[in-house]
Chain A
């Protein structure tokens, strides 16, 4: 896969939107995501590529934030892998107004800021939370909320709302620092912008992770 930073855009390019006559369904035509998504990549991805993919999503989120738009559904499933690099997909245009998460809460809720479950609207800070959670979900096999996947919907919501995320201690310290700051309970303690997250991840990826290594830790270049 080429660098996620070919070109200047980090959002998935949308070509067309189709509305079937008499249907409420929308169909989006976008640039092809030949690599799948960060959640389900078509091929193996090393930790450096995963980290840079989240960084690209962070840059895309920052661009939207600067234009006054919160994404609200950043996750590995909405981070697409194209020939030109990682791209953040659009918000869920199919989602009914007010819906925070869909009917598969186990996987989605782990990337949802608990603030949204308190009823808050998506924001810069909630997207930063989602970026941190996406990074954790991508690099670790451990869930931020152990047991979440097997929970019934109501229990899953309560686990996220009243629990605290548990970070995988086997992740590299610098990555843990980034994730920990992103998922801080108090939004004012999170990075002030997604750009800060992107820059930290890019810096780490360029210095602390080899592109040829898999696993959590990577090796020094």
Chain B
């Protein structure tokens, strides 16, 4: 039943013996590992190994779930196709639908006919890349892995490519568009267009595909000249017109992996940032010391136990004075940053890759020179403000403070949730749902950032 089992690199454990495959999250107990390994070994050649194993697991779980927070999955042959069981924070994609685990009973049966493969990994993580030529093909044994891609027997040498060829489409095939140019031409009134070049349409494809962070606008004059022009536009104000009609819509895009059923992994340069935390009974990682989960509000049962290592969630948001809300999943810069400084910062990033992520820029719409120069970066569970050195300066107003406090040029301060940060005339408020532990820590110390900022009256 199992043709290939490609292991996804990352934390966790992947097991395969014969036609039985299993996966566990890193917090699985030795007892669970032993059970799964022994079961897989014993049932490796059974024609209904998956059914037997799933039925046994269901009976065990029905009598009491010994490790409700642990994610694991088992897959094997059943009476009619592949069957399996997902437990805790686990998800499976069979090419047609997702299977995830709900709170009750905390596990879910899986019966599927993968088309072309079955993807199994931690709930909320990105769908693993399917690479049929992957060298991480597990024949038998127990190896580290964050999940697996199971190709059932009978799949072609390169099922993905074969599937595309079979239906006559490739990911780049522009014939996927099914618009009606005639009707559109009648309805379009103010712009006359001709088909754009491949380079330009690639730009729009990236924009429509969600790559909105840094859409690349072509700078080749010939490419731009090829683009269509407004009939009414003056030579000084000609808009670039990107014809979207020859491109597939986002929904018609081929080659993109479906989104996972819940969430998405918080990645930094393609890697997860790991921090110590405590998990609620649903498996959500929280800041140490918290007694209720910031995600689902459920109690954290093992708050007294030592923290475990897990992927760090994002750290809340920044609310600007004009009401815009920015998610705090990476560092932000304010004000102008000369290229030289950026290069110097890049050198620093090499020392703390988990702290300095791809920077975004907070824009306030005014003169950037009046915004000062500062950064807000992520370190562990904290957001940290760093003054970049400017005449305008950076000011903090932590919760409970009675006045603005100016940061010393080049200094840094850990931000307490609720802090206001002022850059020139612009004020940003830092909101973080992981607050319980921070307040405890703050009581034990002098308070976030107090040792690194000077106290000056804010100029009016």
Contact = CB atoms under 8 A, between A and B. Distances in A.
A161 B433 contact: yes
B240 interface: yes
A84 to B, nearest CB: 10
B179 interface: yes
A186 B187 contact: no
Contacts of A112: 325
Interface string A162-195: 1000000000000000000000011111101100
B217 interface: yes
Contacts of A64: 250-251
A8 B332 CA distance: 41
A220 interface: no
A96 B327 contact: no
A91 B244 contact: no
A121 B262 contact: no
Contact of A188 (B236, B262, B264, B360): B262
- Judged by DSSP, the binding face of B is loop
Nearest to A32: B187
A50 B68 CA distance: 40
A20 B239 CA distance: 4
Q: Using C-beta atoms within 8 Å of the partner chain, give the interface range for chain B.
A: 35 or more
B75 interface: no
B239 A188 contact: no
A68 interface: yes
Contacts of B41: none
Contact of A105 (B98, B187, B325): B325
B359 to A, nearest CB: 10
A64 B429 CA distance: 33
Interface string B214-258: 100100000000001010000011111111110001111110111
Looking at B103, B319, B363, the one whose CB has the most chain A CB atoms below 10 A away is: B319
A15 B244 contact: yes
A98 B260 contact: no
A158 B432 CA distance: 9
A123 B262 contact: yes
Given A17-B241, A17-B244, A125-B263, A118 B212 contact: no
B327 A121 contact: yes
B326 interface: yes
A69 interface: yes
Contacts of A105: 323, 325
Given A66-B258, A103-B323, A21 B249 contact: no
Interface in B268-315: 282, 284, 294-298, 313-315
A21 B184 contact: no
A66 B257 CA distance: 7
B327 A68 contact: no
B202 to A, nearest CB: 13
Contacts of A109: 325
A219 B160 CA distance: 48
Looking at A15, A66, A102, the one whose CB has the most chain B CB atoms below 10 A away is: A15
B3 to A, nearest CB: 24
A124 B282 contact: no
Contacts of B89: 188
Contacts of A17: 204, 207, 241-242, 244
Given A67-B256, A96-B363, A188 B103 contact: yes
Contacts of B58: none
16 contacts: A13-B179, A13-B249, A16-B244, A65-B258, A65-B259, A66-B251, A67-B258, A70-B264, A90-B208, A96-B361, A101-B323, A117-B327, A120-B266, A161-B433, A185-B297, A192-B97
Given A125-B261, A193-B261, 6 more contacts: A13-B184, A64-B250, A67-B209, A67-B256, A96-B326, A118-B314
Interface of B: 89, 97-103, 123-124, 127, 178-179, 184, 187-188, 190-191, 193, 204, 207-210, 212-214, 217, 228, 230, 236-245, 249-254, 256-264, 266, 282, 284, 294-298, 313-317, 319-330, 332, 360-361, 363, 429, 431, 433
Interface of A: 8-9, 11, 13-21, 27, 29, 31-32, 60, 63-70, 90-91, 93, 95-105, 109, 112, 115-121, 123-125, 153-154, 157-158, 161-162, 185-190, 192-193
